[in-house]
Amino acid sequence: MKVAALQMVSGVALQANLAQARDLLEQAAQAGAELAVLPEYFCAMGLADADKLALRETMGDGVVQRFLAQAARELGLWVVGGTLPLVCDSEERVHNTTLVFSPAGDCVARYDKIHLFRFDNGTECFDEARVIQAGRESVRFALPARDGNVWRVGLSVCYDLRFPELYRQHARAGADLLLVPSAFTYTTGRAHWEVLLRARAVENLAYVLAPAQGGTHENGRRTWGHSMLVDPWGSVLAQQPEGAGVVLGTLDAAHLRQVRRQLPALEHCVL
């Protein structure tokens, strides 16, 4: 199955970001992808954390959700909407949510980001908990490919990548593909992004598809990019360093079965 990680450099204007996302989704569909995944914060990288509050939507309705459903339906794609802000039980916060849409335009899965980014090196300071409410549950969904194979997909977002326990939950539930839509900072991404992605692939014997924000944004923030597809042996199959673009790759079910047969590590896990 051909898949696409869509890399963006989102700005502050919602409609401009949706236009860029639609263009990338169309490119992915034209290239034969069955699954296209947008990065975290694809719909907006605001000037301030609180900008997310103005864009929040109620589950089941909203500009961004209608955009994702329409794109999936018109392009015949499985579309994973990186993250968008959804209403939570606090007026001062939102959920940072991944939504999955089938080619029929139906929302089939929702994941609220569990682990919230916090980083302060004296120069850069981030604390997502100021405006984001953490999720509590891991989420997976089944994706029937055109060739009849069914891929079991585990959802995660950005900072989740540093918490291997979440991915082991996915692996124990049979996940074949792990999605990691992200907006890693340039500082943390340069140091840790690739090694973490490859580790999650190797330790869980699964493909990892990680679309990212990649470049310098209107708000001055610089993100690392390097959207990539990693196979279950830890090999990077495709990536793009910076700038908007489509990172294409193929998931090979036979290769996945071979790796798991040769190295049945999950069967031997006792913890």
Look up residue 85 and give its two tokens.
């802000």
- β-bridge pairing 222-224 and 107-112: unpaired
CA distance linking residue 163 with residue 25, whole number of Å:
29
Give the residues across from 153 on adjacent strands.
Answer: 141, 177
Q: Counting every residue, how long is the chain?
A: 271
Catalytic status, residue 52: no
CA distance linking residue 60 with residue 247, whole number of Å:
29
HSE, CB side, 13 Å, CA atoms: give it for residue 217: 29
Catalytic status, residue 113: yes
Residue of 57, 113, 128, 242 with catalytic role:
113
Catalytic status, residue 2: no
End-to-end CA distance of the chain: 32
Residue of 40, 57, 128, 242 with catalytic role:
40
3-class state of residue 87 by DSSP: strand
Is 100:78 a contact under the CB 8 Å cutoff? Answer: yes
Residues taking part in catalysis: 40, 113, 158
